[in-house]
Amino acid sequence: MESSLQSAGLLEQMKIHLSTDAGKEVTNKIGLVYQLNIAPKKIGVDEEIFVVDLKQGKVTKGPYDGKPDATFSFTDKDFLSIATGKMNPQIAFIRGAMKIKGSISAAQKFTPDIFPKPSKL
Amino acid sequence: MAMRDLVTGGAACAVPGTAASSSNPFGALANAILGSSSKTQELKGLPGSAVNVPGPSSDFRTGAPLTTIPGLETEGQQHHQPVGQNYEFLAGFRTADHGVLADAWNEIHQPPALQTQGGKIEAQFQEFEQIYNRGANSMLPPAWDGPPQGVLSRFLHSFVDSGRAGVPFRPAALPVLGLSEGDKQCIRDRSFIMAHHIFADKSEEYINAQVNALLHSLDIDGNERLRGPIRGSYPELEEYWTESQGALRSGMPNPADKWVSEFARQRENGDPEAWAHSFEQLHGTNGWASEFEHEQSQLASVGQVRGANMSHIAAMEQSRMLAHTLAQNTDPKFQNSKFLQFVSKMSRGELIVDENQIKPATGSLTDNWADEYQAQYNAGSSTWADQFVHQDLPQGTDKWVNEFVKENQQQGVDDQWVNEFSKLHVQDWAEEFGQQVAEGALGDSTADDWANTYENFLDEQLLASKQHSGASRGVYVFSDMNPYVGHPNPLREGQELFRKGLLSEAVLALEAEVLKNPDNAEGWRLLGITHAENDDDQQAIAAMMRAQEVDPTNLEVLLALGVSHTNELEQPEALRYLYKWLQNHPKYGVLATPELADSPYYGDVARLFNEAAQMSPEDADVHIVLGVLYNLSRDYDKAIESFQTALNLKPRDYSLWNKLGATRANSIQSADAILAYQQALDLKPNYVRAWANMGISYANQGLYEESIRYYVRALAMNPKADNAWQYLRISLSCASRNDMFEACDSRNLDILQKEFPL
């Protein structure tokens, strides 16, 4: 995936992670489709859209063909904070750092533990 | 009137004054406040007080000071019914429920209790008088009964009356009142200020003349303190300001001091434990007094406001002066008193006297805003804040959301979201959430979680706001309490510690070194490496950038920067540094073309590096950089290859093993990764980064219990590794060890280590 966002790196890792056993676990557990609108600096501006499909277990770039269970909008940094557990998704929502559309119950399942962590060189 | 006394003068000026003295900041505060308000609405109470104003009020719209006098309460009430806004305001200060200071007084001598107006006032104020007199022994003639007081008060009354009547005041011969120097000074100051109030519409000369007449009668030399008004739109206020400034600069004038120390003395006699402790619980024992130092900057910014707010500023300034006065008494209970809290808020602009009411200013910075909110308002008007303080959140979302939005403007939160939120999201989200809860779609646990989360929210906010100073990229954050500062050769010490593997200690020693010699490139470099090994890339970057400033051609620094940026997923920066490495390399520099330096394109850089590798295949460093480069582009296989080549050349480089392991892990060969990490740890047992990476590898494989152990081990070596704390929390929740959340959140390593040994 060509992208200048930091999040892209993480999502790439997610992509390959989903093919592992652990990744398959996640797919079984959640089974939902999330669309992520990630903007470099400000929500809604110059967004890049990714789809984390936890039904089929893949990560793709570009809007979802169909209706995702939940759509999130955040900035690059905030998404990384959430994915690495620095920021609680609920708190992010309350602070307006994350916008949610779609099913709230689906959104509630969007937690840091579905993402693999990057190892440090 | 006793409170007015307090307001207008210190113990030495027990004479009932009818004007506030600017030398007493409190008085000046009162006047600044009063001077700015012109309505006759009844004042809402000050914190903790309910104002009960007795009797009818007749309208005195000028800034007429109080005309009742302590001890002569009955007499005062006959002559002058409590009148106007000012009296009410000051009555508020001293009513039976008692403004803050009276509270304190009362608490000393009896348990605080809500009382109504009436006979109680007198009793208490007589008590007050006694105490006052006791403390003021040295300054007053021992036999101090009615008459001189009465005489003086009547005399001052007539002065005021003359003002109202527009009749020039005539000097009168008075019996000896036994006024001390301090008394005189007080009276002098106060009279001057008061005269400005009363004769606001008259000319300056007239005012001076009146005051002089007054003072002359009292046998006071008023010349010293007379000053012309300062040009400006609010001459009175500015004058108070400069006078109080002058007073402050010349050292604490006696009256205020005396009062303050007396107050402290008195308070020690009593038993203010209960309220002091409860206050401490609410607000923490941190010296708010130190916050006053920051007022200046805040006030400066507030100072931009239009003239309409000048009065607020003046009030703030006055209260700041007052607070400064009071802050000089370092008795912690004193500092914690509600009164001081109130004053501190006034000075910070959090409270504004607006239309004779004390209101919290919007946009104020309040960490404990909920506590303050409760403290300011009568209990009835803010049930939610009550509930919050008692850890009992309502499940109804709308109410708190609305209140939250209205009341809380926290620092760092974009204002826009609040508006948006209040307009749009409240309904949408709250409705849906409500529906969901009603339908039971979420289940009970999640609703509770949400409530708990919100409770944690404010804690987090507190924590976050404290921790994030200087957390921006590139700004190195020094540790406080560094025992190595002052060490004769901290660099050598740091190197020793690093060799021994005591990474956190080495950090401290190296910080001491760079504090001493900010231009020591080696010090910064080693500091950066130590941080990286301690798994803190942020600090590593900051330190390395300093090193680079000092020595732009140091290859290790450039490589380290490239690595750290790679870890932080910042591809462009990482590329730039790795390219610089090439440029600055004595052998390969020739390969580097200058135009690429600014925005290196990955493909080109990779090609160049490959050329370099071909030039000298025995150079491990080239392969290492290549490996990092391939990691950037997620060409993991090639990266692994490069690292392995390098490892063949340098098998005992522990950081190389870690790189290999991390590359493997990122390419989801987690099992192999762990082997590599083991090798690294064999070479360097205190390699925090490797321990943390192990934890990550286990977690990514879903082996959460194992991962917890490794995280805990890493954290035991470096409790400051924030990443690891977060990962630990995630693993705990995945392993359903919610019982350990608290230990994790409070960073309690003992419990965690006991529970999860390796």
pLDDT tens, residue by residue, B38-80: 444 434 444 444 444 444 444 444 334 444 444 444 443 444 4
Of B535, B570, B572, the CB nearest to A120: B535
User: Which residues is A75 bridged to in the sheet?
Assistant: A39
**Closest partner CB to A90 (pick from B442, B450, B634):** B450
Among B41, B53, B58, B49, which Cα is nearest to B118's? B53
pLDDT of the residue at B208: 72
The answer to whether the CB of B417 falls within 8 A of the CB of A95 is yes
Residue B451 has pLDDT above 80, yes or no: no
B566 lies within 8 A of chain A by CB: yes
Confidence at residue B614, expressed as pLDDT on a 0 to 100 scale:
87
Q: Do A119 and B673 touch (CB under 8 A)?
A: yes
Q: How far is A66 from chain B (nearest CA, A)?
A: 23
Best residue in B420, B449, B701, B744 for a mutation probing chain A (most A CBs within 10 Å): B701
Distance between CA atoms of B659 and B414, rounded to whole angstroms? Answer: 40
Q: Does B668 touch chain A (CB under 8 A)?
A: yes
Residues of A in contact with B633 (CB under 8 A): none
Q: Specify the pairing of strand A33-39 against strand A99-102.
A: unpaired
**What is the spatial distance between Cα B303 and Cα B241, in angstroms, rounded to a whole number?**
14
Q: Which of A50-54, B123-127, B368-372 is modeled with the greatest confidence?
A: A50-54
**Contacts of residue B735 in chain A, CB cutoff 8 Å?**
none
Residue of chain B whose alpha carbon sits nearest to that of A92: B457
Q: Where are the alpha helices (DSSP H) in B634-687?
A: 636-649, 654-666, 670-683
Q: Which residue has the higher pLDDT, B469 or B492?
A: B492
**B459: nearest CA partner in chain A:** A91
* Residue B69 or residue B657, greater confidence: B657
Write the residue in B460, B666, B702 that is nearest to A119 by C-beta: B666
The b/e string for B521-530 (b: 16+ C-beta within 10 A; e otherwise) is bbbbbbbbbb
Q: Mean pLDDT for chain B?
A: 65
* CB-CB under 8 Å, A117 with B700: yes
How buried is A1 (Cβ within 10 angstroms: 0-12 exposed, 13-18 middle, 19+ buried)? Answer: middle
pLDDT at B581 over 60: yes
Provide DSSP, B562-584.
HHHHHHTT-HHHHHHHHHHHHHH
Question: Number of Cβ pairs closer than 8 Å across A and B?
Answer: 111
Q: Touching check for B433 and chain A: CB below 8 Å?
A: yes
Yes or no: say if B649 and B634 are a contact pair by the CB < 8 Å rule: no
pLDDT score of B139: 42
A16 in contact with B at a CB cutoff of 8 Å? yes
Reported as a pLDDT band with limits 50, 70 and 90, residue B409 is: very low
> Who has greater pLDDT, B233 or A83?
A83
Q: Is B354 helix (H, G, I), strand (E, B) or coil?
A: strand
Of B102-106, B124-128, B156-160, B584-588, which range is least confident? B102-106
Give the pLDDT mean for B466-491. 75
Rounded distance, CA B187 to CA A86, Å? 61
Cα separation, B271 vs B571, whole angstroms: 64
Q: What pLDDT is attached to residue A39?
A: 93
How high is the pLDDT of residue B507? 93
CB contact under 8 A, A121 and B568: no
Say which amino acid occupies B527.
L
- Across the interface, whether the CB atoms of B701 and A22 are under 8 A apart is answered yes
* Each residue's pLDDT tens digit, B699-756: 999 899 999 999 999 999 999 888 899 999 999 999 998 899 999 999 989 999 999 8
Name which residue leads in pLDDT, B263 or A112: A112
Residue B186 to residue B139: CA distance in whole angstroms? 13
Beta-carbon separation of B628 and A121 below 8 A: yes
Give the pLDDT score at B690. Answer: 95
- Please report the pLDDT score of residue B279 as a whole number: 46
Nearest to A119 among B446, B570, B665 (CB): B665
pLDDT of res. B98: 41
Measured from the Cβ of residue B294, the count of other Cβ atoms closer than 10 Å reads 10
Flag if A116 and B700 touch (Cβ within 8 Å).
yes
Q: Determine the pLDDT at residue B652.
A: 92
Give, as one character, the DSSP assignment of residue B595.
G
Does A44 contact B at CB distance below 8 Å? Answer: no
Identity of the residue in B414, B442, B700 whose CB atom sits nearest the CB atom of A22: B700
Q: What share of chain B is helix, strand, coil (3-state, %, to 5)?
A: 65, 0, 30
Using pLDDT thresholds of 50, 70 and 90, give the confidence band for residue B383.
very low
Say yes or no: B658 contacts chain A, CB-CB below 8 A: yes
- Give the pLDDT confidence score for residue B634 in this predicted structure: 87
Residues of chain B found within 8 Å of residue A104, distances taken between Cβ atoms: 429, 432-433, 436, 442
> Are the Cβ atoms of A12 and B696 closer than 8 angstroms?
no
Q: What is the pLDDT of residue B185?
A: 74
Which three-class secondary structure string do you get for A54-108?
CCCCEEEECCCCCCCCEEEEEEHHHHHHHHCCCCCHHHHHHCCCCEEEECHHHHH
pLDDT at position B537 over 50? yes
Residues above pLDDT 70, as percent of chain B: 39
* Non-local CB neighbours of B76 within 8 Å, separated by 6+ positions: B1, B67, B68, B69
A28 touches chain B (CB under 8 A): no
Total H helices, total E strands in chain B: 38, 2
Tens-of-pLDDT digits for all 121 residues of chain A? 567 788 988 998 999 999 888 889 899 999 999 999 999 988 888 899 999 999 999 999 999 889 999 999 999 999 999 998 889 898 999 999 999 999 999 999 999 989 999 999 9
Tokens read off for B29: 């505060």
Confidence bin at B475 (pLDDT 50/70/90): confident
Of B450, B662, B727, nearest to A121 by CB-CB distance is: B662
Element (H, E) at B436: helix B426-439
Is pLDDT of B307 > 50? no
Q: How confident is the model at residue B105 (pLDDT cuts 50, 70, 90)?
A: very low
d(CA B352, CA B345): 9
Asked whether the beta carbons of residue B700 and residue A113 sit closer than 8 angstroms, the reply is no
B369 vs B569: which has the higher pLDDT:
B569
- Closest Cβ–Cβ partner in B442, B667, B668 for A105: B442
**Element containing residue A37 per DSSP (H, E):** strand A33-39
Q: Tell me which residue of B305, B300, B332 sits closest to B317, measured CA to CA.
A: B300
- Which H/E stretch holds residue B560? helix B555-567
Dist. CA B365–CA B276, nearest whole Å: 23
What angle is formed at CA B72 by the lines to CA B68 and CA B74, rounded to 5 degrees? Answer: 85
Q: Please give the Cα distance from B717 to B401 (Å, whole number).
A: 42
Tokens of A104: 């709230």
User: Residue B114: exposed, middle, or buried by beta-carbon count in 10 A (0-12, 13-18, 19+)?
Assistant: exposed
Q: What chain B residue is nearest to A10 in terms of C-alpha separation?
A: B569
Within B99-180, residue ranges assigned H as helices are 100-109, 119-135, 146-165
ipTM (interface predicted TM): 0.93
Establish if A20 touches chain B: CB-CB under 8 angstroms: yes
Cα–Cα distance, B180 to B220 (Å, whole number): 10
A102 CB burial (10 A radius; 0-12, 13-18, 19+): middle
Q: What 3-state class would DSSP assign to B60?
A: coil
CB contact under 8 A, A17 and B569: no
Strands A33-39 and A48-53: antiparallel
